[in-house]
Amino acid sequence: MLTAMKKQFEKQFDAQPEVAAFAPGRINLIGEHTDYNGGYVFPAAIELGTYGLARKRDDRTIRFYSLNFEEAGVISFSLDDLDYDKADSWANYPKGMVKFLIEAGYNIENGFDVIVEGNIPNGASLSSSASIEMLTGWLMKSLFNLDVERLELIQLGRKVENHFIGVNSGIMDQFIVGMGQKDQAILLDTSSLEYHYVPTEFGDYTISIMNTNKRRELAESKYNERLEECQKALALLQQELDVEALGHIDEATFEAHAHLIDDPVLLKRARHAVTENARVKAAYDALEHSDFKRFGQLLNESHASLKDDYEVTGVELDTLAESAQQVDGVLGARMTGAGFAGCAIALVHQSKIKALEEEVTRNYTEKIGYAPSFYHVNIGDGVKSIEL
Ligand code: GLA
């Protein structure tokens, strides 16, 4: 991949790259739509990701080229105009990152050229956007010797989503892309940002990623709508409860105060946030005790809650996860990421991977009309420099 990228770099920019970096994508084991509710998440970085090469220029021009969007050509703008521009298409993600690094006081004194290429399926809920944000942050850090910590890059990446792109997402994706480590998931408390690494050791079982191959549409507006619903539900609970976030409420306290939420839709949304948070803690506990069966059950319960209470699945993700749940040797399956389309994960016995793929493909294709895809990828490192 790098050799071809270097050739392209020379071809597009007539120069040699100076630095190279890789930023992964991610899966989330469990803890969905809990991060903007101050709850727990349990993600892991994957070995699929985005590669980037960069060099400094003498002037103030910035140029981006993606081997995934060759039709977009070289996207060029000036260091002196870093406002969002629809015409810059995918390059708005790196543009926002550069803008916010500069606003945070980091000295990016020259323009630069960047080539990127990724192998994360686009729009598949595996965080290709956090990957490009963190990749850009890391390339800038290397190229301009910025003394910026991972955590700050993570926070700036989230700021790009929230204030440049316009998705009010939580911190999970940038956090795991920034902090991931090989063969480790991270249990993260999104309120305190306390976290610790947990080995992704599933004995004879492994995680399969299953892609609906349905492109997400309108996902951003639905996502923001869920956030607002949670905020409304929280405000109603705060009439009697002294809490800052849905993620700080245990299930018993929630049920005892559920009458305060007089809107049935808001009640369901809040119930998901509260029960999902409890499931993350239970799943962590199950994994610590190598109780994979329990872990799998929690995956199934998570999917059901995302389907019935949070309503972010849709027929494609439901067919995928529910078909997988029926396969002999599968302990559990659920959608991962924002939902609406994209991917699901399954915890499957290593000897049953083929059966899973065959049975799910048959069911899914029959019902949906096209086939899903499957990936077996290792849990890998967070954003890092790589040798040129
Ligand atoms: C997207 C967001 C995350 C998180 C998930 C749902 O991936 O970027 O912050 O909210 O959806 O868990």
pLDDT at residue 220 in the model: 81
28 CA: nearest ligand 1 atom: 12
Cα of first residue to Cα of last residue in the chain, in angstroms, is 11
- Asked if residue 362 has pLDDT above 80, the reply is yes
Nearest to 173 by CA among 186, 184, 185, 158: 158
Strands 61-66 and 112-118: parallel
Confidence of residue 218 (pLDDT cuts 50, 70, 90): low
Which ligand 1 atom sits closest to the C-alpha of 35? 10
How many angstroms is it from 33 CA to the middle of ligand 1?
6
Q: Which of 173, 220, 309 to mutate to test the pocket of ligand 1 (most atoms within 8 A of CB)?
A: 173
Tell whether the model's pLDDT for residue 185 goes beyond 90. yes
Residue 315 CA to residue 191 CA, distance in Å, equals 32
* Closest atom of ligand 1 relative to the 223 alpha carbon: 11
Q: How far apart are CA 228 and CA 234, in angstroms?
A: 10
CA 103 to ligand 1 centroid distance, Å? 25
Give the residue numbers marked as catalytic: 173
Of ligand 1's listed atoms, the one at least distance from the Cα of 170 is 9
Q: Report CA dihedral (186, 96, 48, 306) to the nearest 10 degrees.
A: 60
Cα distances from 297 to residues 101, 288, 290, 312, 330, in angstroms, run: 42, 15, 13, 20, 10
- Which residue has the least CA distance to atom 9 on ligand 1? 170
Question: Across the chain, where does the E strand assignment appear?
Answer: 19-28, 40-41, 43-56, 61-66, 75-78, 112-118, 184-189, 195-199, 205-211, 330-335, 343-349, 373-375, 384-385
Question: Nearest residue CA, atom 8 of ligand 1?
Answer: 169
List the one residue out of 306, 281, 256 whose CA is nearest residue 243: 256
Distance CA 332, CA 307 (A): 15
Task: Compute the distance between CA of residue 322 and CA of residue 325 in angstroms, rounded to an integer.
Answer: 5
Q: Buried (b) or exposed (e) across 105-133, using 16+ Cβ within 10 A?
A: ebebeebbbbbbbbebbebbbbbbbbbbb
Q: Of 174, 136, 202, 151, whose CA–CA distance to 36 is shortest? A: 174
Average pLDDT, the chain: 97
Give me the residue label for tokens 């850090």: 141
Instruction: Report the separation in Å between the CA atom of 245 and the middle of ligand 1, taken as the mean of its atom positions.
Output: 16
pLDDT number for residue 215: 74
Residue 152: is its pLDDT beyond 70?
Answer: yes
Candidate of 26, 29, 169 to mutate for ligand 1, largest count of ligand atoms within 8 Å of Cβ: 169
pLDDT at residue 18, rounded to an integer: 98
Instruction: Tell me the pTM.
Output: 0.97
Residue tagged 């994979």 (tokens):
292
- Chain segment 121-149, per-residue pLDDT in tens: 988 999 999 999 999 999 999 999 999 99
Q: 90 Cβ partners below 8 Å, 6+ apart?
A: 66, 68, 69, 72, 75, 132
Cβ–Cβ contacts within 10 Å for residue 279, how many? 24
CA of residue 303 to ligand 1 center, whole Å: 15
pLDDT of residue 326: 98
The Å distance, Cα 126 to ligand 1 centre, comes to 10
CB 152 within 8 A of CB 52: no
Residue 311 identity: E
Q: Which residues line ligand 1 (CB under 6 A)?
A: 32-33, 35-36, 169-170, 172-173, 337-338
> Could you report the per-residue pLDDT of 51-110, keeping only the tens digit for each?
999 999 999 999 999 999 999 999 999 999 999 999 999 999 999 999 999 999 999 999
